[in-house]
Amino acid sequence: MKVLVTGFEPFGGEPFNPSGACLAAVRQELSGTFDVKTEQLPVDLESVRRRLPELLSESAPDIYVALGVAPGRHAMAVERVAINVLDFPIPDNVGSSPADEPVVPDGPLAYAATLPIKAIVRECTAAGLPIYVSNTAGTYLCNATMYLGLDWAVRQGAMTRVGFIHLPHATEHVPRPDQTGALPLAFMARGVAQAIHVSARVSQDIAGHGGAVH
């Protein structure tokens, strides 16, 4: 089974991004079980728009998991939905700062993840890996990458299962001493690998609560 995992380079003035830094460890975790390709994407909207469809077409994965960092979150977060909105709170690394623009001009308002998100949360939690269902991927490049991956699968008629996992900061590189909620990089890589194992095994997601009041 072919698996593609992407992360991001640092952005926003931070020197470290766990989503890109953990890719080698994720690849090691999955070694011998899956045919794994990983790539660190630039925090550059137009580059991602060009590169991601190429990467997906080149690798033709059965499972595509995109990773990003969500500062302030206290656990890994499996995203439920990607929306067709670009509304950047800060510029990307080349200075692009769209507001109220679509990710894909002729795309639908939203796409739901095609990973078994509830099964991932249940099995990772049982394994002691802190994770939850998130109902917003934001309006920055993380959401855009998830949307572009799902849009590619629909337009290509591909059976690729696509989803996004947000990571908290890594304990090895917490930007501020007072910041809490960080997790070790190896621990997060194990969680991502577990999510991929679940996605390969579970064809129909389980029912269960994963909503939010706000």
pLDDT in tens, 60-85: 999 999 999 998 888 999 999 999 99
Residue type, 72: G
pLDDT of residue 177: 54
Instruction: Assess whether 209 carries a catalytic annotation.
Output: no
Q: What is the mean pLDDT of the chain?
A: 95
Q: Which helix (H) or strand (E) holds 7?
A: strand 2-8
pLDDT of residue 181: 74
Q: What is the pTM of this model?
A: 0.96
Q: Which of 22, 29, 123, 142 is catalytic?
A: 142
Q: What is the mean pLDDT of residues 33-51?
A: 98
Domains and CATH numbers, the chain: 2-201 (3.40.630.20)
Structure tokens given for 109 = 């308002």
Angle, alpha carbons 210-213-214 (nearest 5°): 110
Q: What is the mean pLDDT of residues 124-144?
A: 97
pLDDT of residue 155: 98
Q: Which of 79, 123, 124, 197 is catalytic?
A: 79
pLDDT one-digit tens code per residue, 164-202? 999 999 988 776 655 567 899 999 999 999 999 999 999
**35-39, 69-73, 130-134, 179-183: least confident range:** 179-183
DSSP code of residue 93: T
Q: Which of 22, 29, 123, 166 is catalytic?
A: 166
**How far is Cα of residue 191 from the mean position of the Cα atoms in its chain?**
12
Instruction: Assess whether 173 carries a catalytic annotation.
Output: no
pLDDT of residue 65: 98
Residue type, 133: V
Structure tokens given for 151 = 């849009």
pLDDT of residue 172: 82
